[in-house]
Amino acid sequence: MKTSVSLSVFQGAKTAPILFMGSTEENFRTIKELGYDGIDLFVDDPTSDATKDAVKYLIRYDLGVGVVMPAALAGQGLFLGDEDKSVRNKCIQKISEIIKFAEAIDGMVSLGLVRGSSAREESLAHFYSKFVDSCEKLISTTDMPLLIEPINRYEINTINSVQEGIDFINKYKLPLYLMIDTFHMNIEDVSIEQALRDSFSLTKHIHFLDSNRLAPSMGHLDMEGLYRTAAELGYNGYLCLEALAKPTAYECAKRGAEFFKKVKK
């Protein structure tokens, strides 16, 4: 299993799970020195200088990319399941550009907050018909896996639990995969371990956080047990600290590195 941390190339919200903020060389050097294998990149504009700097430093420090995350689009009001067709189309176009960028650096793309929430007055089926249509358009543009991330109910009202993610993919028979996140699973799933097992054949990436969205060992989940379950299942993707930078980015990343060193022994 490989390990990674989240980094945003742009100035993201302070409340977002962005461990390292900014495409500075110091951030990439620190991540490498702490022993991480790669990065999940939050990208707003694939053509920006900050994005180009990120690519330069990824190569310089020999770091891999797990997932490129288009969550910034949601912040701009662009959603794949939006009621307004022009909003959906703009979102599809922007994500297609991010997919092309991700392909060039061998990263996958996640569809999390960008799917959007279902309005109270519409049925969930109506929302999914729009979201599925957008997914089909995106799938036709790429051979790289697109990942659905189940996200907790306080952030979105579509695909909250891992089981809902599995059911969505099976129901619509789409060639999509899952990115699961233990922080959200702690809120939505009956058993994190069981959800890990149930979703394993579809899971390509894991956000590996403790109960408080900090590094494993900083909260109250059995992260060692979850690590062992992932190892037992033969998971060979990334375990990513998509964590809050608390008390500081460095301290949280260091605690994560110490955890991984301990459990890998």
Contact footprint for ligand LER (CB under 6 A): 16-17, 69, 71, 112-113, 149, 151, 155, 181, 207, 242
CB of 213: closest distance to Mn ion in angstroms? 9
CB of 151: closest distance to Mn ion in angstroms? 7
Burial (CB count <10 Å: 0-12, 13-18, 19+), residue 51: buried
Does residue 213 belong to the site contacting Mn ion (CB under 5 A)? no
Task: Name which of 153, 244, 232 is nearest 196 in CA terms.
Answer: 232
Number of residues in contact with Mn ion under rule CB under 5 A? 3
Helix (H/G/I), strand (E/B), else coil: 148 = strand
CB of 60: closest distance to ligand LER in angstroms? 26
C-alpha–C-alpha distance, residues 165 and 186, integer Å: 15
CB atoms within 10 A of CB 55: 17
CB of 13: closest distance to ligand LER in angstroms? 9
Which amino acid, residue 83? E
Nearer to ligand LER, 155 or 224 (CB): 155
CA 230 to chain centroid, in Å, comes to 17
Question: What residues does 131 pair with on adjacent strands?
Answer: none
Does residue 207 belong to the site contacting Mn ion (CB under 5 A)? yes
Does residue 242 belong to the site contacting Mn ion (CB under 5 A)? yes
* List 181, 188, 189, 210, residue binding Mn ion (CB under 5 A): 181
Q: What does the DSSP 8-state code read for residue 14?
A: T
Nearer to ligand LER, 109 or 135 (CB): 109
CB of 43: closest distance to ligand LER in angstroms? 13
Nearer to ligand LER, 77 or 125 (CB): 77
Does residue 115 belong to the site contacting Mn ion (CB under 5 A)? no
Q: Which two tokens stand for residue 265?
A: 């022994």
Cα 156-206-28 angle, rounded to 5 deg: 105
Query: Which residues of this protein are in contact with Mn ion, per CB under 5 A?
Result: 181, 207, 242
